[in-house]
């Protein structure tokens, strides 16, 4: 299975299968790494994110299909319509598992169809099918219809009306609400008129060393299961972090202004567990953590049942807007999942609009008559509907805060909270200083997944990177080095590809053992970090092709000034100092450009010509 | 005697405790932590306990209900309505 790539051209309707060179798998593993290699080689400079030349790359990793905890994930990559830069976005559920069963480590989709289609894949049967009858439908309806028509067990990843309308924050949803959420891969799918990809098959995973594989699975699953945080995530979901926000200062509040708010407890994972939670969602394949929620609200204006809001959504539709109505957040989460739109970006855009309205930069007339005041839940829902239906101000807000601020002007750039055009996630660099350089340098813009600090800063050392001490969350020195190491680990994890939540308990060396048993390679933990570093630098080179440089490695000014009140008031990361330490650790020059020596050391000689040409 | 409401979140896996305990006045942070360890030390994850047998503040935050930090040098905590002990989590 490992070496097969399915190539589908929607313009010419050509379909072919290629072998993936073994060296690619050794150097880039799979997932995000393999995507970086192919898309760097195949997406030319000057191509438009929503044009024919952009490509969509679905990929899984070497651990897929063999009961490694959380290994049912998949990655999707392309040039992002939100940032214009590199995009990878991963999702859990069962889609990745079925992609492996179908026998493909990667599916590359190129060209554009002139009619709505979906891709049907069942082992070697690959068909481009008509999707006219499901175009315009919500995601759950679409997936139900496709699964019914397919008549085999499998999984579909689909876009909703937001992707069809090319909203740059549109996402791809699979398995009852699991999302490849950030950066607009859904819009790229929409631009190709591709409604969904359905995967199914019966190929079986075979480890290179079955005995070692069984041992590794047993040991590492045990490690994940026994970790204390696994229990907390299982019981309260990711929303547990919202319950701790009063003390940690981690949850952005009132569009990143306040340091504290009495509403955190009302929208926490603990409150969810005691009210609307029905069960841990079983959608994620072989996951012992089970943080995903299935919730139900039986009556009232927000009656719903389905996937429950994650911490990020509790932040973006809760604390960011001073909305303490948990039922409304669950309902809006469901709407976003049905229309296929990223909750972080859409909630953040509404927070931006609230502040613009408060400051008189947007009038009630601009907002289609909506009185968009802080904490006004009904107004939030009304504006969200405008974004989802692409009506009125919703058209502009759906473009993201960077674009919205450019259009509104009047100094609104000051409170448009994004990095490189991507709205920041719900973790505050003033609470965990390591997020400063991590956000500033992430290849896909403001993102906490390319450097999953949550599992490391103040928690776990990284001995494979020579970091043996646990880092104080409010120290400045060392955070550039930490950010680099965490980004390298996270990038390898997204290439392997497993859920980053396992890295509260696992290490790079654990990952190396698993990959070795699965593939027959002989990596160490240090090798895994180097692979992550290689991929990270390649993604940086991809961004350089589209005009990005070290000058874009910044944070919004608001995040570099104090919160008003709260536990971290007065504490602000020194980004300039952190970045210089970071660039040095990376072997980049002081302007953030990878040195030729570093690129050669990483085996990336082939990018030097373009970067230095 | 003074009654203090304590919230112990994140130190014990998936068990968040809200407990009201009585203390002789004055009571400082050290007294509170000794009592917490006495009652729940078996359940608290090892790394959250310091070598001195108190809570390990490399991981554990202690604060009032507004998130204001509480330190060992505060002589008396009886005027504080609620005291939180939390292991912060930047997850999700
Ligand atoms: S940890 Fe949560 S998101 Fe990750 S695979 Fe498991 S249930 Fe899914």
For chain B, the straight-line distance linking the first and the last C-alpha, in angstroms and rounded, comes to 41
Cα–Cα dist A41/A22, whole Å: 17
Give the pLDDT confidence of A408-440 residue by residue, as tens digits. Answer: 999 999 999 999 999 999 999 999 999 999 999
SS (H, E, C) A316-336: HCCHHHCCCCHHHHHHHHHHH
What rounded mean pLDDT belongs to chain A?
96
- Whether A378 and A448 map to the same domain: the answer is no
**CB of residue A449 inside a 6 A radius of ligand 1:** no
- Whether A369 and A463 map to the same domain: the answer is no
Is residue A403 in some structural domain? yes
Is residue A218 in some structural domain? no
Cα–Cα dist A320/A558, whole Å: 14
Which amino acid residue places its CA nearest to atom 2 of ligand 1? A291
Phi, psi of A422 (to 5 degrees): -105, 125
State the DSSP string of A203-263.
-----SSHHHHHHHHHHHHHHHHHSHHHHHHHHH-TTHHHHTHHHH--S-BTTTTBS--TT
Domain ranges of chain B: 2-86
Cα–Cα dist A197/A15, whole Å: 14
Is residue A387 in some structural domain? yes
- Whether A261 and A395 map to the same domain: the answer is yes
- Which residues on A lie below 8 Å from B88 (Cβ)? 244, 247-248, 250, 431, 458, 473
- Whether A24 and A138 map to the same domain: the answer is yes
Give the pLDDT confidence of A3-48 residue by residue, as tens digits. Answer: 999 999 999 999 999 999 999 999 999 999 999 999 999 999 999 9
- Whether A400 and A458 map to the same domain: the answer is no
- Whether A285 and A179 map to the same domain: the answer is no
For chain A, the straight-line distance linking the first and the last C-alpha, in angstroms and rounded, comes to 38
Residue A587: per-residue pLDDT? 98
Cα–Cα dist A139/A156, whole Å: 10
Which is the closest atom of ligand 1 to the Cα of A288?
6
Q: Does A312 touch chain B (CB under 8 A)?
A: yes
Give the pLDDT confidence of A501-531 residue by residue, as tens digits. Answer: 999 999 999 999 999 999 999 999 999 999 9
**Which pTM value belongs to this model?**
0.96
Which is the closest atom of ligand 1 to the Cα of A73?
5
C-alpha A209 – ligand 1 centre gap (Å): 27
Cα–Cα dist A131/A564, whole Å: 51
Residue closest to A173 by CA, chosen among A204, A142, A200, A208 = A142
Kindly determine whether residue A454 and residue B91, on different chains, have CB atoms separated by under 8 Å: yes
- Asked whether the beta carbons of A381 and A387 are under 8 A apart, the reply is no
Which residue matches tokens 């481009």? A128
Residue A2: per-residue pLDDT? 58
Closest-approach residue (CA) in chain A for B8: A244
Cα–Cα dist A73/A571, whole Å: 37
Closest-approach residue (CA) in chain A for B9: A244
Cα–Cα dist A550/A488, whole Å: 18
Give the pLDDT confidence of A353-390 residue by residue, as tens digits. Answer: 999 999 999 999 999 999 999 999 999 999 999 999 99
Domain boundary among A155, A177, A200: A200
Which is the closest atom of ligand 1 to the Cα of A281?
7
Which residue matches tokens 């010419």? A12
For an interface test with B, the pick among A246, A500, A562 (most B C-beta atoms closer than 10 Å) comes out as A246
- Whether A274 and A331 map to the same domain: the answer is yes
Residue B14: per-residue pLDDT? 83
Question: Domain tally for chain A?
Answer: 3
- Whether A274 and A179 map to the same domain: the answer is no
C-alpha of B42 from chain center: 15
- All residues at 6 or more sequence positions from B39 whose CB lies less than 8 Å from its CB, including other chains: none
- Whether A441 and A519 map to the same domain: the answer is yes
Rg (CA), chain A: 22
pLDDT-based confidence at A280, cuts 50/70/90?
confident
Cα–Cα dist A67/A214, whole Å: 9
Max Cα-Cα span within chain A: 68
Is residue A599 in some structural domain? yes
pLDDT-based confidence at A1, cuts 50/70/90?
very low
Give the pLDDT confidence of A117-126 residue by residue, as tens digits. Answer: 999 999 999 9
Contacts from A222-228 at CB under 8 Å and sequence distance 24+?
A223/A505, A223/A506, A223/A510, A224/A69, A224/A288, A224/A289, A224/A502, A224/A505, A224/A506, A225/A288, A226/A505, A227/A504, A227/A505, A228/B12, A228/B13, A228/B14, A228/B45
- Asked whether the beta carbons of A573 and A557 are under 8 A apart, the reply is no
Is residue A430 in some structural domain? no
Give the pLDDT confidence of A211-261 residue by residue, as tens digits. Answer: 999 999 999 999 999 988 888 899 999 999 999 999 999 999 999 999 999
- Whether A96 and A161 map to the same domain: the answer is yes
Which amino acid residue places its CA nearest to atom 7 of ligand 1? A290
Over the range B48-82, which residues count as b (16 or more CB within 10 Å of their CB) and which as e? bbeeeebbbbebbbbbbbbbeebeeeeeebeebee
Is residue A461 in some structural domain? yes
Mutate to test the pocket of ligand 1, among A290, A313, A449 (most ligand atoms within 8 A of CB): A290
Phi, psi of A95 (to 5 degrees): -60, -45
Give the pLDDT confidence of A315-331 residue by residue, as tens digits. Answer: 999 999 999 999 999 99
**Fold classified for B2-86:** Ubiquitin-like (UB roll) (3.10.20)
C-alpha A281 – ligand 1 centre gap (Å): 9
Which residue matches tokens 């990095």? A419
Q: Does B21 touch chain A (CB under 8 A)?
A: no
- Which residues on A lie below 8 Å from B61 (Cβ)? 247-248, 567
- Whether A191 and A63 map to the same domain: the answer is yes
**Containing structural domain, residue A16:** 4-200
A-B contacts (CB, under 8 Å): 96
User: Strand order in A304-307's β-sheet?
Assistant: A277-280, A293-297, A304-307
**CB of residue A455 inside a 6 A radius of ligand 1:** no
Residue closest to A105 by CA, chosen among A121, A93, A128, A85 = A121
SS3 of B87, please? coil
Is residue A419 in some structural domain? no
Task: Provide the ipTM.
Answer: 0.88
Kindly determine whether residue A244 and residue B89, on different chains, have CB atoms separated by under 8 Å: yes
DSSP state of A16: E
Is residue A559 in some structural domain? no
What H or E segment, with its residue span, contains residue A110? strand A106-110
- Asked whether the beta carbons of A438 and A461 are under 8 A apart, the reply is no
For an interface test with B, the pick among A229, A242, A244 (most B C-beta atoms closer than 10 Å) comes out as A244
- Whether A390 and A473 map to the same domain: the answer is no
């Amino acid at each position: 299975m490992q070496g097969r790539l399915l190539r589908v051209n929607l313009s010419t309707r050509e379909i072919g299968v290629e072998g993936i060179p073994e060296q690619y798998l050794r150097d880039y593993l799979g997932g995000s790494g393999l995507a970086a290699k192919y898309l760097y080689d195949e997406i030319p400079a000057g191509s438009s994110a929503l044009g024919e030349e952009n490509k969509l790359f679905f990929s899984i990793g070497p651990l897929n299909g063999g009961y490694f905890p959380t290994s049912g994930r998949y990655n999707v990559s392309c040039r992002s319509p939100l940032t214009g830069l590199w995009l990878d976005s991963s999702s859990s559920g069962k889609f990745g598992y079925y992609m492996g069963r179908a026998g493909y480590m990667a599916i590359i989709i190129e060209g554009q169809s002139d009619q709505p289609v979906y891709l049907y894949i069942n082992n070697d049967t690959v068909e481009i099918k008509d999707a006219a009858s499901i175009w315009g439908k919500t995601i759950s309806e679409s997936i139900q219809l496709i699964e019914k028509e397919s008549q085999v067990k499998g999984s579909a990843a689909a876009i909703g009306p937001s992707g069809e309308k090319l909203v740059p924050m549109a996402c791809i949803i699979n398995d009852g609400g699991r999302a490849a959420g950030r950066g607009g891969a859904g819009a790229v799918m929409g631009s190709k008129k591709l409604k969904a990809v359905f995967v199914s098959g019966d190929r079986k995973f075979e480890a290179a060393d079955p005995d070692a594989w069984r041992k590794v699975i047993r040991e590492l699953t045990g490690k994940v299961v026994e970790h204390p945080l696994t229990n907390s995530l299982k019981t309260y979901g990711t929303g547990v972090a919202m319950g701790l926000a009063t003390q940690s200062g981690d949850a952005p509040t009132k569009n990143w202004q306040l340091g504290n708010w009495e509403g955190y407890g009302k929208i926490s994972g603990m409150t969810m567990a005691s009210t609307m939670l029905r069960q841990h969602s079983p959608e994620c394949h072989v996951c012992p953590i089970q943080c995903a929620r299935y919730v139900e609200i039986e009556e009232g204006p927000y009656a719903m049942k389905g996937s429950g809001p994650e911490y990020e959504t509790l932040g973006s539709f809760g604390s960011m807007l001073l909305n303490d109505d948990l039922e409304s957040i669950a309902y809006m989460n469901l709407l976003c999942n049905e229309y296929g739109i990223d909750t972080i970006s859409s909630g953040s855009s509404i927070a931006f609009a609230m502040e613009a309205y408060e400051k008189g930069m947007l009038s009630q007339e601009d907002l289609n008559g909506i009185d968009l005041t802080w904490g006004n839940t009904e107004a939030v829902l009304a504006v969200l509907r405008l974004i989802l239906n692409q009506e009125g101000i919703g058209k502009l807000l759906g473009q993201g805060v960077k674009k919205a601020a450019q259009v509104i002007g009047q100094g609104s750039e000051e409170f448009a909270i994004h990095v490189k055009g991507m709205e920041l996630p719900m973790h505050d660099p003033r609470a965990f200083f390591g997020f400063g350089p991590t956000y500033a340098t992430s290849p896909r813009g403001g993102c906490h997944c390319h450097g999953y600090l949550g599992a490391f800063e103040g928690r776990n050392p990284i001995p494979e990177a020579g970091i043996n001490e646990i880092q104080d969350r409010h120290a400045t020195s060392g955070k550039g080095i930490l950010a680099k190491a965490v980004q390298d680990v996270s990038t390898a994890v997204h290439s392997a590809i497993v859920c980053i939540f396992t890295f509260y308990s696992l290490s790079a060396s654990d990952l190396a053992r698993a990959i070795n048993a699965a593939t027959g390679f002989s990596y160490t933990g240090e090798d895994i970090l180097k692979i992550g570093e290689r991929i990270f630098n390649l993604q940086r080179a991809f961004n350089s092709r589209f005009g990005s440089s070290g000058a874009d490695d910044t944070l919004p000014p608001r995040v570099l000034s104090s919160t008003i009140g709260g536990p971290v008031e007065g504490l602000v990361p020194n980004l300039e100092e952190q970045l210089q330490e970071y660039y040095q650790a990376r072997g980049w020059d002081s302007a953030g450009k990878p040195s030729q020596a570093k690129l050669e050391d990483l085996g990336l000689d082939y990018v030097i010509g373009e970067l230095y040409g | 005697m003074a009654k203090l409401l304590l919230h112990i979140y994140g130190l014990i896996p998936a068990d968040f405790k809200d407990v009201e305990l009585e203390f002789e006045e004055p009571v400082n942070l050290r007294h509170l932590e000794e009592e917490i360890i006495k009652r729940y030390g078996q359940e608290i994850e090892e790394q959250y306990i310091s070598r001195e047998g108190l809570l390990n503040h490399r991981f554990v935050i202690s604060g009032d209900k507004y998130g204001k930090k509480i330190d060992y040098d505060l002589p008396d905590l009886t005027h504080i309505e609620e005291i939180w002990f939390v292991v912060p989590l930047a997850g999700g």
